[in-house]
């Protein structure tokens, strides 16, 4: 039987803990203040598997915690780990991975696991659609939607929007991605040619983790547009300019943890078991 400690994170950690417990793991969860039966030092000593959150950190100093726990300093946690521990987390910083390697600590980054990334695109796409509907006064049905980027998330999102009878256009830098999008029945446009087309879109979904929608591009958009940015931090949309121009825009990180924590927990569980066998 494995002894597992879950540290910080969002609701995904709670559901993951329940799933692990239901499958015979001995589980300790540190999600809220005062919920640990012992000190964090003792908790790490008695548990061999340490499950850290997605993302691992937002400030590079502390583990991410939706409840803003104050005892999750990364330096302190690393100092307590030994070669007997196995460390999991999402988007683990390089300095943590290097420390683990130097100290013979097995380390697995969820974001390096292709099956997790692909499965999570469904929850991300559904969450992005939910955020768009909450933010906009309009309907997605027969609306003109633009998706910037046609990677894993962009592809799943495009298919979901198409299923809602939206008219979907894909913008990307790569000809290969544009060819793939066209073969799947989507309208396409090169990212560099977008400015003159912006006014016709009611919804814009950005998936590119680089500043692709800045003042020069946003100035051409309809004042009624709704912009949802699901790219990794810091996102790809100039939200400050959107605020100045009263454009509806929102950065939406961590959508799987918000809209599908139970499903996301199951996905993580399957990946963890695979790594341990």
Write the CATH number for 244: 3.40.50.720
**Does residue 143 sit in the same domain as residue 164?**
yes
Taking CB atoms within 8 Å and a gap of at least 24, the contacts of 141-144 are 141/165, 141/166, 142/166, 142/167, 143/167, 143/202, 143/203, 144/169, 144/200, 144/201, 144/202, 144/203
Same domain flag for 82 and 146: no
- Given 69, 86, 112, the domain boundary residue is 112
Does residue 61 sit in helix, strand or coil? coil
Give, for 243, the enclosing helix (H) or strand (E). Answer: helix 239-244
One domain, residues 44 and 133? no
Give the pLDDT mean for 155-182: 97
85 and 128 belong to one structural domain: no
Burial 24-39 (b: 16+ CB within 10 A, else e): ebebbbbbeeeebeee
pTM: 0.89
Task: Give the model confidence (pLDDT) of 15-56 as tens digits.
Answer: 999 999 999 999 999 999 888 989 999 999 999 999 999 999
3-state secondary structure of 171: strand
Residues contacting 40, CB < 8 A, separation 6+: 7, 30, 71, 72, 76, 77, 80
Q: Is 203 helix (H, G, I), strand (E, B) or coil?
A: strand
CA distance 244 to 66: 29
Which pLDDT value is given to residue 101?
Answer: 97
For residues 100 and 110, what is the distance between their CA atoms, to the nearest angstrom?
Answer: 15
Host domain of residue 211: 121-257
Q: How far apart are CA 4 and CA 20, in angstroms?
A: 8
71-98 pLDDT, tens digit per residue, is 999 999 999 999 999 999 999 999 999 9
């Amino acid at each position: 039987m494995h002894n597992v400690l879950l540290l910080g994170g969002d609701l995904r950690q709670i559901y993951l803990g329940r799933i692990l417990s239901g499958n015979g793991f001995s589980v300790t969860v540190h999600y809220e203040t005062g919920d640990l039966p012992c000190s964090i030092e003792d908790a790490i000593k008695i548990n061999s598997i340490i499950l850290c959150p997605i993302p691992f950190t937002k400030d590079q100093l502390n583990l991410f915690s939706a409840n803003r726990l104050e005892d999750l300093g990364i330096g302190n946690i690393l100092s307590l780990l030994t070669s007997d521990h196995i460390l999991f987390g999402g988007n683990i910083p390089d300095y943590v991975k290097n420390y683990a390697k130097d100290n013979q600590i097995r380390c697995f980054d969820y974001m390096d696991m292709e099956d997790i990334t692909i499965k999570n695109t469904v929850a991300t796409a559904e969450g992005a659609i939910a955020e768009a509907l909450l933010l906009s006064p309009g309907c997605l049905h027969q609306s003109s939607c633009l998706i910037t980027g046609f990677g894993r998330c962009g592809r799943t999102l495009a298919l979901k929007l198409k299923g809602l009878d939206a008219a979907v256009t894909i913008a990307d830098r790569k000809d290969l991605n544009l060819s793939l999008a066209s073969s799947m029945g989507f309208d396409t446009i090169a990212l560099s040619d977008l400015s003159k087309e912006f006014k016709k879109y009611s919804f814009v979904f950005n998936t590119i983790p680089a500043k692709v929608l800045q003042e020069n591009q946003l100035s051409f958009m309809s004042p009624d547009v709704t912009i949802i940015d699901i790219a990794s931090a810091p996102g790809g949309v100039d939200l400050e300019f959107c605020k100045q121009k009263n454009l509806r825009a929102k950065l939406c990180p961590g959508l799987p943890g918000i809209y599908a924590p139970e499903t996301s927990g199951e996905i993580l569980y399957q990946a963890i078991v695979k790594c341990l066998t």
